[in-house]
Amino acid sequence: MKIKEPLLKPELTAPAGTYEKLVWAAQYGADAVYFGTDFGSLRAYAGNFTLDDAAKGIKFLHKNGKKGFVTLNIYPFSDEYDKLLDIAGNLQDAQADALIVSDIGLIFELKKAGIKTPIHISTQANTTSSQAVLAYRQLGAARVNLARELSLEQIKQICKDTLQTGVELEVFVHGAVCFSYSGRCAISDYLTGRKANRGECTHPCRWEYYIVEEKRPGEYFPVFEDQRGQYLFNSKDLALFEFVEPLAQAGVTSFKIEGRMKSVHYIASVISLYRQLIDGKKISSEDCLKLLSRVKNRGYSTGFMKGSITPDDYSYEKSQSKSGAVFVGNITDEKIEQGSICFVRNKIFAGEKLEVLTPAGEISEITTPNPLKTIDGESTEFINNPQKIVLEQKLPAYSILRRVIEVSNKK
């Protein structure tokens, strides 16, 4: 009988828009965290890091056995390379584990400047072929993030074609998806003056539109679908939990999560699920969807993984996010003799049942004290951000508390 080869374990790479989110990503099982600095990142409104905060974050990650990757993935203009090289030099001094770039000119300039920090190619470069991966490898890239427009079979072929080169391959497995090719969109530029390829996207693909076809009304979409109009470009979020094992067996080096602008609740919930799946825990698709419904989303899709996009991969009726839970608090790392201290993020009521998710991925239920007790000893029937309360249960630091609201969330 043929012995099945052991499942490879890809790196789990998580997003962080702030230092706080970086810490949460590490706590919930990320192997690496990627983030941007004040200039050069494709998420200008994510919060981002000063160079001092970047050094602090990288130091924290290294202390905890994690890696820190920094995004310099805008498409720069000619007079901006010196600024990017200065930032890259500072990040090299801070011992960043990689710089994520899109622009081929920046790759050459980094080499000319003697920057030794490994280079990762951003998804923004829309790499869809083995030939492009090999070309980036010849230019010195250590890792290439493959475009989201590839199918599983195409990814398998690229892994096979590049196996002997040592280049690492990375795939986005979860998060928001731009309707445009690899996110290279200019709608925001035209409608608002904010340049998407400079990190300033206003997400006009999520806006409400009415289409009128002057001579052939209704050929593509009715002139008026209803009073809301239609969200024509509103792609659902990517969720590839069903493909963790086949992608790992294909040889993908890193599974990447999108979401530098998302909340700590999102980071904890999503990273926790994919951490468990990568580590080999068997979780049914139904349970994966149930867990992912806890965070805000636009519905879920497997994108191009099966070969093509269908109308089901877009949410035409609405653009607002939905969630099956309300994040109400987290356990701090403050030590008390009995119980735990909860930092309140949203309203908590005395005597209510809350779901707890720990950094180890364990889920349980607790009932809050009645009445609630603040850390100052006051009694109350409900409490809101930014207070702290004492819970009777001894819970691990960074555990999250949430109020579950059952919602239907088909993939």
Instruction: Flag whether pLDDT at 50 surpasses 50.
Output: yes
- Indicate whether 31 pLDDT > 90: yes
User: Burial code of 149-179, b = ≥16 C-beta within 10 A, e = fewer?
Assistant: ebebebbbebbeebeeeebbbbbbbbbbbbb
Number of domains within the chain? 2
pLDDT winner (highest mean) among 185-189, 228-232, 294-298, 396-400: 396-400
Q: Is residue 158 in a domain?
A: yes
Verify that 271 and 373 share a domain, yes or no: no
Together in a domain, 308 and 329: no
398 pLDDT higher than 50: yes
Q: Based on the fold, state whether residues 53 and 128 are members of the same structural domain.
A: yes
Do residue 366 and residue 269 come from a single domain? no
User: 35 lies in a domain?
Assistant: yes
Q: Judge whether 195 lies within some domain.
A: no
First to last CA, the chain: 37
pLDDT of residue 208: 67
Token pair in block for residue 200: 């300033």
pLDDT of residue 115: 98
Closest Cα partner for 231 from 134, 185, 295, 298?
298
Q: Please, what is the angle between helix 130-138 and helix 152-162, to 10°?
A: 40
69, 34: one domain: yes
User: When comparing pLDDT for 184 and 37, which is higher?
Assistant: 37
Percent of the chain with pLDDT over 90: 72
Nearest to 51, CA basis, from 76, 102, 14, 88: 88
User: Residue 42's pLDDT band (boundaries 50, 70, 90)?
Assistant: confident
Split at pLDDT 50, 70, 90, the class of 310 is low
Residues 173, 265, single domain; the answer is yes
pLDDT tens profile 149-168:
999 999 999 999 999 999 99
333-352 pLDDT per residue, tens:
999 988 999 999 999 999 99
| Residue 90 resides in a domain | yes
Do 246 and 386 have their domain in common?
A: no
| Same domain membership, residue 142 and residue 30 | yes
The answer to the question of residue 150 being in a domain is: yes
Helix (H, G, I), strand (E, B) or coil at 174: strand
pLDDT digit string, tens, across residues 208-254: 665 665 665 555 554 344 444 445 566 789 999 999 999 999 999 99
Model-level pTM?
Answer: 0.86
Tell whether 28 is covered by a domain.
yes
> Is residue 348 domain-shared with residue 397, that is, in the same domain?
yes
- Do 78 and 109 lie in a common domain? yes
pLDDT, residue 183, reads 61
CA dihedral 57→63→65→69, nearest 10 degrees, is 20
For residue 368, pLDDT beyond 60: yes
What is the CATH classification number for the domain harbouring 372? 2.40.30.10
Write out the residue range of the structural domain in which residue 354 sits.
325-404
Domain with residue 86: its CATH number is: 3.20.20.70
